[in-house]
Amino acid sequence: MSISSKIVDDVVAAGIAFVTTVPCKQLAGVIDEVEARPEIYHIPSNKEDEGMGLCAGAFMGGKKPMIIMQNTAIGVTINTLATLTQFYRMPLPMLISYRGELREPVACQVEMAVHTKALLNQLLIPTFHFHKEADAEELPEILSYTFMCNKPVAILTDASFWGGYGDQ
């Protein structure tokens, strides 16, 4: 079974039924899996703060939400995380592709990578980092932790976790 299928199996098993996505090359397999699952309403967003608004509404409507996005999104969602998700105390698992780490071919991605953990730390967002495939074994626990504590929680997934960038 592919790692993308395994991740989305865990998402479905956690009762998550509303997933918004903003694409990243690394997340393409996961997004395809999300789209394919009948248990999940998949709603692509045009921007990540919009997606967090959709997730807030879905949560208040009784559905467990999730957002899938790239780490560059931290730069555009700080206000939303602080004044919506955290202020109203809502759970939000964030599966994040962690661009700009080892094996990254695009220099500009490193510019946000160096801020990613610092910003998450500054926002007091619980953060987990998947570097090896075995790290994903903790995903079910992380999802249940997120809905236990009603907080946004970051799951950073780097290039080593996804197996690099192919022929780039």
Partner 1 sequence: MIRSEILKEIAPILRDQLVVCNIGIPSQELHAIDDQPSNFYMLGTMGLASSIGLGLALAQPKPVVVIDGDGSILTNMGTLPTIANNVANNYILMIIDNGSYGSTGDQPTYTGKKTSLAKVAEACGCERVVECKDVDTGAVLQDALDSGEMTIMVVKCDSGNAKMPVITMDPVVIRDRFMKAVQA
* Interacting residues toward partner 1 by CB under 8 A: 18, 41, 43-47, 49-63, 65, 79-80, 82-84, 87-90
Classify burial at 126, counting beta carbons within 10 Å of its beta carbon; exposed 0-12, middle 13-18, buried 19 or more. middle
- Torsion, Cα 68 8 44 112, to 10 degrees, reads 20
Minimum gap (Å) between residue 19 Cβ and partner 1: 11
Nearer to partner 1, 80 or 157 (CB): 80
Minimum gap (Å) between residue 45 Cβ and partner 1: 6
Minimum gap (Å) between residue 59 Cβ and partner 1: 8
Output b/e per residue, 26-61; b: 16+ Cβ within 10 A. bbeebbebbeebeebeebebeebbbbbbbbbebbee
Nearer to partner 1, 21 or 157 (CB): 21
Residue with token string 């969602």: 77
Minimum gap (Å) between residue 161 Cβ and partner 1: 29
Nearer to partner 1, 83 or 121 (CB): 83
Nearer to partner 1, 3 or 78 (CB): 78
Closest CA to 24 of 86, 64, 74: 74
